[in-house]
Amino acid sequence: MLLGCGLRRSEAATLTLDHAAQREGRWVIVDLVGKGNRTRTVPMPSWAKAALNAWTEAAGIKDRRVFRRIHKGGYVNGDSMTSQAIRDVVVHYAERCGFGELAAHDLRRTFAKLAHKGGAGLDQIQLSLGHASIKTTERYLSVKQDLADAPCDVLGLRLTK
């Protein structure tokens, strides 16, 4: 959810099964309350929905919060994970996978950069991330002018005599 949807760890910590819904033929996270108490809808890639389904089925989760504590004995507790616990899991598995230092927020920035590189519009990335200002989204992307692939080249206009 952090990488596939660009969620903040605090948003992932409050995610419930009721947040997952279909809108316009695709799965989304609805009524997600983010920073500044702003509510938004976030599109969910099919692979993230498949992972969500696999987790909730394996953990026997049918209601309440999605991300829950797993005790050392391997059983899933009813207690939801905190934002800090999500951070700790990301850091632990990043190191274990050889990524070195990786913060949970790096996954959110990576979502933005991959979406932009894939052709998503800046405004759509802003909406997904829940940024109040487009300038915040631009900072995530380190947007620089691309003179080789300039916007004026795709206008489809020609000068005729």
Please list the active-site residues: 8, 35, 105, 108, 131, 140
Helix, strand, or coil (residue 25): coil
Integer Cα distance of 60 and 84 in angstroms = 23
- Residue 32: C-alpha distances to residues 11, 15, 116 (Å): 7, 8, 22
Helix, strand, or coil (residue 30): strand
Integer Cα distance of 140 and 136 in angstroms = 6
